[in-house]
Amino acid sequence: MRIPQTPKPVSRLLADAASSNRLVDLMGSLSNVSQNPRYLHWNEVRRRPPPAGMSHEEWWLLLKMARLPARSIPLLDKQGTPFKFTIPDKVAAHLHQIDLGLGSSGSLPDAVTHPSSRNEYVISTLIQEAITSSQLEGAVTTREVAKEMLRSGRQPRDQSESMILNNYRTMQRIMEVRGQVLTPELIFELHRLVTAETLAKPDGAGRFRRADEAIRVIDEEGTVFHDPPMAEQLPGRMKAMCDFANKQTPDYFVHPVVRAVLLHFWLAYDHPFIDGNGRTARALFYWSMLHQGFQLFEFISISQIILKAPVQYATAFLHVETDDNDLTYFILHQTEVIEGAIKALHDYVAHRKAELAAAERQLRGIQGLNHRQQGLLANALRNAGARYTIEGHKRTHGVVYQTARSDLLDLERRQLLKMTKIGRAMVFRPVEDLAKSLEAQGESKEPVSEDSTASSTQSEFGGLD
């Protein structure tokens, strides 16, 4: 990709318009230009036909004036100029939809929020985010292999798997520290988790980069996309970032989602570590969303959306830096990502509910199955070659080892799973023609009550992991 072209400073454009006696005429067109719903960067403006009677630079001047006033935050660039943002109508619309989608537990089905099954959905979201966030940073593996590693508890085999395991553990830790204020020490802890055993310099985990460690964001051809602030500035910059994250600054209201998005940008811009900055930035975003009360964000994965269009993610950063530190570009991109992630979850839950309703009809007549067993059998109906282990069942459902063991041995006793040993580990597989076995067992018993079968829709959140 190429670095977007930087436009002339607004002061220069104003001077040009004044010297050519065009300023008054242009001001008469300001209201029409301000109605443009798109937040265009100069790199797009210069390639589009300008409004009649205007040059591209005159059009750009009016667009910039229509975006005033902008509010600044304590993040400064290397020249000491603050970053700033506005909330155009499109961003306000995204924020409204996000508030509606995340504002209360009533906005998601009981299958997600019910205490008996919420752990399964949370764990699956953690797995999804761990995998896709790592893939954004170059991890190379399939989702199936990564899921198998995380669910079975086996050790990673290479650096890509290590990155994914680290991200998973980091996300788990964020769930635990959501109530804590943000401090440099907490950021260092999260960075150590993100980068454990993956750095070329192992001592680089959990510390600032040093002055002799030249860190830049470059592509394979050597093009520099970002040259972060000097190392000696990092302690002060991180303190300012923590003050912002903890709502001590600025002295005006910042929408909680915007604050979390700007925290994401802030750490990525400062690039305080020798590696793992992107993953740490997204981790801080999650901390901020949960810390500010968006508890349903436990079930949302933003990296799965970003991964579909990673160039747009990178371009949002570049647009900010090449247009007067205007953070609106990044806010717009990320609020679109969040809204997309919320929609993906709702779509999945609707699909999963319909899918499990069909499986429930086969499970309805079998007495004594708990929601974990029903979820496993529903999964087995779709995956005849699936393998289940006690450790994997334990991790999927967030239960203790003995509970997971009892679940699987009970299904073996019912002749719905068959068990073999690989070494000392017990591995369970669906019996041949599981659907027929379920049908036979259901017909041989009295139907169970509606209360005992309702939890079958609260089974494994398999679609997002």
Query: In which domain, by residue range, is 261 found?
Result: 72-345
Phi, psi of 426 (to 5 degrees): -90, 130
Q: What pLDDT shows up at residue 151? A: 82
In a domain, 452, yes or no: no
User: Is residue 462, in this structure, part of any structural domain at all?
Assistant: no
pLDDT at 73 over 50: yes
Q: What is the pLDDT of residues 157-207, one digit of tens each?
A: 999 999 999 999 999 999 999 999 999 999 999 999 999 999 999 999 999
Q: What is the mean pLDDT of residues 277-285?
A: 97
Check: CB of residue 302 under 8 Å from CB of residue 282. Answer: yes
Closest-CA residue to 455 (of 128, 168, 112): 112
Domain membership flag for residue 458: no
| Residue 242 predicted with pLDDT over 90 | yes
Reference 94, options 239, 247, 261; nearest CA is: 261
Q: Which amino acid is at 216?
A: R
Domain membership of residue 350 (yes or no) is no
Radius of gyration (Cα) for the chain, nearest Å?
Answer: 26
Mean pLDDT estimate for the chain: 89
Please determine, for residue 251, whether its predicted confidence score (pLDDT) is greater than 80: yes
Dump pLDDT digits (tens) for 195-240.
999 999 999 999 999 999 989 999 888 899 999 999 999 999 999 9
CATH number of the domain at 391, please: 1.10.10.10
Structure tokens at 277: 């900055």
In terms of domains, do 17 and 152 share one?
no
The reported pLDDT for the residue numbered 385 is 77
pLDDT tens digits, 20-46? 999 999 999 988 887 778 999 999 999
Those residues whose C-beta lies under 8 Å from the C-beta of residue 203, and which sit 6 or more positions away, are none
Instruction: Say if residue 232 is in the same domain as residue 163.
Output: yes
Give the pLDDT score at 330. 98
For the chain, the 3-state helix, strand and coil shares in percent, each to the nearest 5, are 60, 5, 35
Whether residue 3 is contained in a domain is answered as: no
Q: How do residues 126-168 score in pLDDT, each as one tens digit?
A: 889 999 999 999 899 888 899 889 888 899 999 999 999 999 9
Cβ–Cβ under 8 Å, residues 465 and 147: yes
Decide which of 279, 313, 345 is a domain's last residue. 345
Rounded Cα gap, residues 458 and 465, in angstroms: 16
- pLDDT for residue 447: 40
Given this model, what pLDDT does residue 451 score?
35
Torsion on CA atoms 22, 28, 31, 37, rounded to nearest 10: -40
| C-alpha to C-alpha distance for 388 and 322, rounded to whole angstroms | 51
User: The tokens of 116 are what?
Assistant: 């008996």
Q: Give the bridge partners for 218, in sequence order.
A: 224
The partner residues of 224 in beta bridges, in order of sequence, read 218
Does 135 lie in the same domain as 56? no
In this prediction, residue 42 carries a pLDDT of: 98
Last residue of a domain, one of 314, 345, 376: 345
Shared-domain flag, residues 196 and 335? yes
pLDDT at 86 over 90: yes
Domain finish residue from 313, 345, 377: 345
Burial class of 90 by CB neighbour count within 10 A (0 to 12, 13 to 18, 19+): middle
Reply yes or no on whether the pLDDT at 241 is more than 90.
yes
Q: What pTM was estimated for this model as a whole?
A: 0.83
Q: Are 145 and 293 in a shared domain?
A: yes
Q: How confident is the model at residue 439 (pLDDT cuts 50, 70, 90)?
A: confident
Residues 336 and 415 in one domain: no
* Structural domain contains residue 148: yes
Quote the CA–CA distance of 86 and 230 in Å, as a whole number. Answer: 28
pLDDT number for residue 346: 82
- Which CATH number fits the domain that encloses residue 250? 1.10.3290.10
pLDDT for residue 108:
60
One domain, residues 195 and 338: yes
- Residue 328 pLDDT > 90, yes or no? yes
Query: 83-87, 90-94, 136-140, 314-318: which range is least confident on average?
Result: 136-140
Work out whether strand 224-226 and strand 217-218 pair parallel, antiparallel, or are unpaired: antiparallel
Tally the residues of the chain: 465
Do 89 and 234 share a domain, yes or no?
A: yes
Closest CA to 404 of 382, 440, 424, 375: 375
| Across 254-275, average pLDDT | 98
- 209 is a domain residue: yes
Per-residue model confidence (pLDDT) at position 443: 67
Residue 65 has pLDDT above 50, yes or no: yes
Task: Check residue 355 and give its pLDDT.
Answer: 65
In the structure, what pLDDT confidence band is assigned to residue 344 with cuts at 50, 70 and 90?
confident
pLDDT digits (tens, 9 = 90+) for 417-436: 999 998 888 999 999 888 88
As a whole number of angstroms, the distance between CA 102 and CA 314 comes to 26
Q: Are 290 and 174 in contact (CB under 8 A)?
A: yes
In angstroms, the CA 293 to CA 104 distance is 10
Percent of the chain exceeding pLDDT 90 equals: 69
55: pLDDT strictly greater than 70: yes
Residues 22 and 94 in one domain: no
Q: What is the pLDDT of residue 120?
A: 67
Decide if 229 is inside a domain. Answer: yes
Average pLDDT over residues 338-346: 90
pLDDT of residue 214: 85
Amino acid at residue number 363: L
pLDDT value of position 112: 67
What is the separation, in whole angstroms, between the first and last Cα of the chain? 30
Q: How large is the average pLDDT for residues 97-102?
A: 88
Residues 140 and 91 in one domain: yes
Does 371 lie in the same domain as 322?
A: no
Closest among 312, 326, 310, 337 to 101, alpha carbons compared? 337
- Please name the residue that has the structure tokens 């790199």: 43
Total domains present in the chain: 3
For residues 315 and 397, membership in a common domain is answered with no
Question: Closest by alpha carbon to 209, among 224, 191, 186?
Answer: 191
